[in-house]
Amino acid sequence: MSILINHIYWFLNIEGRKMEKRRVVITGMGVVAPNGIGIDAFWDSLVHGRSAIKRITRFDASSYPCKIAAEISDFDPTDYMDPKTVKRLDRYTQYSLASASMAINNSKLNIRDLDPFRIGVFTATAIGGGETSEKQHLIFIEKGLKRMSPFTLRGISTHTSAAVISEVFNIKGPNTTITSGCNSGLDAIYLAYNIIKLGDADIMIVGAGEAPITPYIMAVFSLRGILCTNNNGEPEEAVKPYDVDASGIVLGEGGGAVILEELNHALKRGANIYGEIIGYSSLNEAYVFGTKTNPEIMAKAFQLAFKKANIRAQDVSYINSHGNAIVEYDLGETEAIKIAFGEWAYHIPISSIKPVTGQSLSVTGVYQMISSLLVLKNGVIPPTINLKNPAPGCDLNYVPNHSIKRNVSIVLMNAHGFGGIHTVVIVRKFNGDIY
């Protein structure tokens, strides 16, 4: 028995060392967001604090408590797929496929020339095909089964995005969908990171898509009591993280994707490297739905990510925060940062991009990753707009209203979802260091 145990320890040690040696970098990005389609437009809006939140045009929301959302108004899906495909896919999958196509192009990968079994696709969504579900349900009620679209199942399925991206690009490696609410995007990223670390793939396409701005889904969120209802007259000023007048979230939509690649694979082909993933964590508070958060558990998630990244709290240059403008959460997040970062909490810049993009559920995590990589590249930190009167207890540097120039080397992103889930991902600037 002791010989067997020794062999197991030897195997685990070898596999652990192999996993440590495989480093994961990001070599491509694509985004379809309310505040900009494409990396340049997305970034310009963030840096200048131009909110995409407006009055809802997708349907008549005059009877709803919240009449605003971050809609995408200038997206033409036929720029990325043929008209037949457009008709068969829900809006959330169109966003996912378009952003994945952008990310692949941005990475300059010749996907079809590579081993398809060494490439994988992980996608994220919290809602899936809600728009298709609503429309087809109405048809079923009013006109019967025979008038429904034969592509309804494809439209509503949460896994359609991952399947379609794989089909379009002939990708045959690991493939799955993550659906863990607002954490889904960051969860998909760290899980794909582990697939590469373990040696099960060399490239992972990680994306997310959401299209929750529909009559029924807006009604569901309204009943939950977490949507902002105080700024229907001035939509751009509605979302106010860390502010005394914060009154809730505003839904957004869109898609985002990043290309994760094993470092040596990226170097051999001369890829442009935006950053390296060095740590992550995922914990939960063991409750179902609520707006409060346990600062100690969130702080523990931060600290666990520090440990995995082999860094100290003071090594983090910037926090790309969850900051969702739910007062109880903003206070809890602030307290968690103070616990985990100590005195450094009062010096590190922190900002939330949600006042610009809206709360796009799973896609928010991918938006955070893309914006963090652009911070590393450009040395500019986007502001937390609409922050005029910090709430009592929210006394950190949230980069209020105006972007700042800062040489950033390590960024921490955090997400919080219903169910008390905390996800943290840490990326750093890649400076060509090989070890």
Given this model, what pLDDT does residue 158 score? 94
The mean per-residue pLDDT over the stretch 357-370 comes to: 98
Given this model, what pLDDT does residue 291 score? 64
Give Dmax (Cα) for the chain.
73
Given this model, what pLDDT does residue 290 score? 65
Given a cut of 80, is residue 17 above it in pLDDT? no
The residue type at 98: A
Given a cut of 60, is residue 3 above it in pLDDT? no
Run of H or E including 102: helix 91-107
Q: For residue range 389-413, list pLDDT tens digits in order.
A: 999 999 999 999 999 999 999 999 9
In the block, which residue shows the tokens 């992980």? 122
Q: How far apart are CA 420 and CA 267, in angstroms?
A: 39
In the block, which residue shows the tokens 């209020």? 400
Given a cut of 70, is residue 345 above it in pLDDT? yes
Given a cut of 80, is residue 6 above it in pLDDT? no
Kindly state the percentage of the chain with pLDDT values over 70: 94
Given a cut of 80, is residue 47 above it in pLDDT? yes
**Which among 409, 371, 369 has a CA at the least distance from the CA of 40?**
371
- In this structure, the chain runs to a length of 435
Kindly give the pairing relationship between strand 175-178 and strand 119-124.
parallel
Given a cut of 70, is residue 226 above it in pLDDT? yes
| Averaged pLDDT of the chain | 94
* CA-to-CA separations, 77 to 108, 126, 173, 216, 269, in angstroms, rounded: 22, 21, 26, 24, 31
The mean per-residue pLDDT over the stretch 312-331 comes to: 97
Which tokens hold the place of 74?
Answer: 């200038």
Given this model, what pLDDT does residue 245 score? 95
Given this model, what pLDDT does residue 280 score? 99
Given this model, what pLDDT does residue 19 score? 59
Which tokens hold the place of 186?
Answer: 């960051």
Given this model, what pLDDT does residue 5 score? 44
**Beta carbons of 249 and 325 less than 8 angstroms apart:** yes
Q: How many CB atoms lie within 10 A of CB 230?
A: 15
Kindly give the pairing relationship between strand 203-210 and strand 119-124.
parallel
Confidence of residue 71 (pLDDT cuts 50, 70, 90): very high
Given this model, what pLDDT does residue 18 score? 54
Domains of the chain and CATH, by start = 23-268 (3.40.47.10), 280-428 (3.40.47.10)
* 3-state SS assignment for residue 381: strand
Given this model, what pLDDT does residue 106 score? 99
Given a cut of 80, is residue 1 above it in pLDDT? no
Contacts of 256 (CB under 8 A, 6+ apart): 29, 30, 31, 32, 33, 99, 185, 207, 208, 363, 366, 367, 369, 370
b vs e for 348-385, b when ≥16 Cβ sit within 10 Å of the residue's Cβ?
A: bbbbbbbbbbbbbbbbbbbbbbbbbbbbbeeebbbbbb
The mean per-residue pLDDT over the stretch 409-432 comes to: 94
Q: How many CB atoms lie within 10 A of CB 9?
A: 10
Kindly state the percentage of the chain with pLDDT values over 90: 85
**Beta carbons of 155 and 149 less than 8 angstroms apart:** yes
Hey, which residues does 175 pair with through a beta bridge?
Answer: 121
Hey, which residues does 54 pair with through a beta bridge?
Answer: 69
Which tokens hold the place of 214?
Answer: 């529909």
Identify the weakest region by mean pLDDT among 45-59, 197-211, 218-232, 363-377: 218-232
Which tokens hold the place of 371?
Answer: 């914006």
Confidence of residue 13 (pLDDT cuts 50, 70, 90): low
Given this model, what pLDDT does residue 134 score? 87
Reported in sequence order, the residue ranges of 40-100 that DSSP labels E, i.e. its strands, are: 54-55, 68-69
Q: For residue range 156-215, list pLDDT tens digits in order.
A: 899 999 999 999 999 999 999 999 999 999 999 999 999 999 999 999 999 999 999 999
The mean per-residue pLDDT over the stretch 234-258 comes to: 97
**Beta carbons of 363 and 185 less than 8 angstroms apart:** yes
**Beta carbons of 258 and 370 less than 8 angstroms apart:** yes
**CA-based end-to-end distance of the chain:** 37
Q: For residue range 252-307, list pLDDT tens digits in order.
A: 999 999 999 999 999 999 999 999 999 999 999 987 666 678 999 999 999 999 99
pTM: predicted TM-score of the whole model, two decimal places: 0.94
**Beta carbons of 190 and 425 less than 8 angstroms apart:** yes
Provide DSSP, 185-233: HHHHHHHHHHHHHTTS-SEEEEEEEE---SHHHHHHHHHHT-B--S-SS
Confidence of residue 16 (pLDDT cuts 50, 70, 90): low
Question: Angle of helix 327-341 relative to helix 295-309, nearest 10 degrees?
Answer: 50
* 3-state SS assignment for residue 359: strand
b vs e for 82-100, b when ≥16 Cβ sit within 10 Å of the residue's Cβ?
A: eeebbebbbbbbbbbbbbb
Confidence of residue 14 (pLDDT cuts 50, 70, 90): very low
Given a cut of 80, is residue 8 above it in pLDDT? no
The mean per-residue pLDDT over the stretch 354-370 comes to: 98
Q: How many CB atoms lie within 10 A of CB 4?
A: 8
**Beta carbons of 171 and 119 less than 8 angstroms apart:** yes
Given a cut of 90, is residue 133 above it in pLDDT? no
